[in-house]
Structure 1
């Protein structure tokens, strides 16, 4: 009987997986420039790796994330432009985070024209705590306002300035929540669109320096 996948086991497996995959020549990815295709390949290989070793709940379109029982979503992105997208649920995600942890594989792809194969050099393996998946600049500004004893009007004006997709009533409600429930510092750049666009540049920089309370560099150990 397979052991149940836990958060510590997921992190260790992620580290072991990318180190192993980074040593392989991958014919299927030779000449492929589509980041989505590379990401899909890596994701499928990782799920296959985990399924052979552990029991875990598989994500679905209903759950919206890859590991619903662990509250974790997997993202695979290129070091050239470390970003991805995720479903938009509410404007408050930009302040309080996405509501789940992020496991992010950041790769650099190299093609070998002689062998007609590709290799993926995984530069970073990030684990971003759900409390810190909000937008960096938005949360930084809000925390500064709170530290200066700003009131509801100050917070609401800042939310409008930051272009959060809210009407007046929604802005007022979120401002009231922020005053009573201080947000944590986020480390993503979250851009408004039909979906959130998540950019990981700052998280990568923090991980390269050893990480912090919200970002764990899985390849550092």
Structure 2
């Protein structure tokens, strides 16, 4: 069975493939947007992670006829009332400028004491099949934000996010450690029974 992950992010593709391998889900070939003919992708205008993930998965399934998975994820900072949230990738203005987004969040928290720097990585993942069936699931990874970036693994806000019970940031964790605990891994794992059922 071919499964489309509606993303061009090679790290997300690698993560889903690793999780399927680790959980012994055979017979599923994960492809990305670069592997299918181009189609118009709607902008992410939803007010929630769930809305954005569902819109992306619907577009992909409709355009390709493949069962499609899409995710929307971001950082919810307690002291910023849950922001940047769905705006995480474009918090500093441009889309996907990880460095600028990270610097802006740190600047906004510069006066916030360590004990009030709680945050969570949140991920909503949607599966839409060509027959129109829809499943939306959510994962959340709690932690706190450190004062300066550390670590070279991961992307986005990983270098400033320290998971609860950890001394290291998520950018200092090995990929397999992150896969075991992250918000995206939680959401994708909760999707596995649905993928197994689809595969038949």
Query: What is the TM-score with the length of structure 1 in the denominator?
Result: 0.26
More relative contact order, 1 or 2 (CA 8 Å, 6+ apart): 1
Structure showing greater radius of gyration is 1
Query: What is the TM-score with the length of structure 2 in the denominator?
Result: 0.28
